[in-house]
Structure formats: structure tokens, C-alpha cells
């Protein structure tokens, strides 16, 4: 597949909620069993980036941000049958070029398996992990 066939939309109205919910609730290790209404609410309150091949949604990324100092990149995925086609790269390029996400002091993300992809866009492991804290509820959707 040629990269030119991939279209990225930042319009929330273009998000196929059924596709995004199905992936996040069934396939994503970070959000198994997440309820449909929580995905809908998350999308309504985030910057969304949907990847399409023809009219089919094949990828997604979401950014939570105040638009001034901080952004958290999350829910990034490409459907398995479209991996290796440059969709993740095109999503990341579009995310980083978004005009409302420029000049931020800090970007964060969590990943178990895509370090190489994100490193190529400037992400690194925490320089001072002793400063980071979290409340983690991994089984909240069970």
C-alpha cells in the first residue's frame, strides 16, 4: 500500500466509534473491556486523529492536552492487517504538526512495545523517573 492512500482526519465527527471501541475493548492491552460510552466521552474531550484507507478507518490516535503546556498521547493503534504500511508514522507526523499542539513544554505517553516508533519522534524514557507518580487501576473495566 502506498502512503498516499492513507488519509488522516482530525475531525471528531469522522471517528468510527464502532471501530475504535472494538479495537480498544478487545485488542488493546491497555483498555480491555472499556465500555463504549467511556470511549465516546474520551473522544469528545480529546484531539482525535483517524487514519483511513479509502473510507475504512484503519488507525487512530488521541491526544489529551490543555493546548498550552502539556499533552498526553494515547490510544494509538493501527488495525493488524494494515500494520507496516506507514499508518503509525503518518498518524505521528499529523499529531506533531497539529497547530494547537505546538510549543508544549511536555509530551507523555505509555507504551509496552512501540518504543522505536516513538523514539523516532523525539520521545525518550523518563529522564527523572523518581519524579513521576501514578494511580494505576489496570482492572477497572473488568
pLDDT at 137 over 50: yes
pLDDT at 26 over 70: yes
β-bridge partners, 40: none
pLDDT for 122 equals 96
Decide: helix, strand or coil at residue 12: helix
The domains found in the chain, sorted by start residue, are: 3-126 (3.40.630.30)
Give percent above pLDDT 90 in the chain.
Answer: 94
Which pLDDT band holds residue 142 (cuts at 50, 70, 90)?
confident
37-63: average pLDDT: 97
**Closest residue by Cα to residue 95 from 66, 125, 60:** 60
pLDDT for 125 equals 95
DSSP string, 117-137: HHHTTT--S-S-GGG------
pLDDT at 130 over 50: yes
Could you tell me if 108 and 73 are in contact, meaning their C-beta atoms sit under 8 angstroms apart? yes
**Closest residue by Cα to residue 51 from 110, 92, 7, 2:** 7
CA distance 63 to 74: 6
10 Å CB burial of residue 21 (0-12, 13-18, 19+) is: buried
Is the pTM higher than 0.85? yes
The sheet with strand 70-78 has its strands ordered as: 6-9, 47-53, 56-65, 70-78, 106-109
pLDDT for 54 equals 92
Give percent above pLDDT 70 in the chain.
Answer: 97
Amino acid at each position: 500500500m502506498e502512503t498516499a492512500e492513507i488519509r488522516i482526519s482530525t475531525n471528531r465527527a469522522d471517528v468510527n466509534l464502532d471501530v475504535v471501541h472494538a479495537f480498544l475493548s478487545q485488542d488493546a492491552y491497555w483498555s480491555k473491556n472499556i465500555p463504549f460510552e467511556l470511549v465516546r466521552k474520551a473522544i469528545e474531550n480529546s484531539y482525535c486523529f483517524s487514519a483511513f484507507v479509502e473510507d475504512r478507518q484503519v488507525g487512530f490516535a488521541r491526544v489529551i492536552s490543555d493546548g498550552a503546556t502539556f499533552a498526553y498521547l494515547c490510544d494509538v493503534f493501527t488495525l493488524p492487517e494494515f500494520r507496516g504500511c506507514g499508518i503509525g508514522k503518518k498518524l505521528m507526523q499529523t499529531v506533531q504538526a497539529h497547530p494547537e499542539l505546538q510549543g508544549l513544554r511536555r509530551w507523555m505517553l505509555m507504551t509496552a512495545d512501540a518504543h522505536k516508533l516513538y523514539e523516532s519522534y523525539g520521545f525518550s524514557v523518563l529522564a527523572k523517573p523518581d519524579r513521576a507518580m501514578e494511580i494505576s487501576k489496570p482492572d477497572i473495566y473488568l
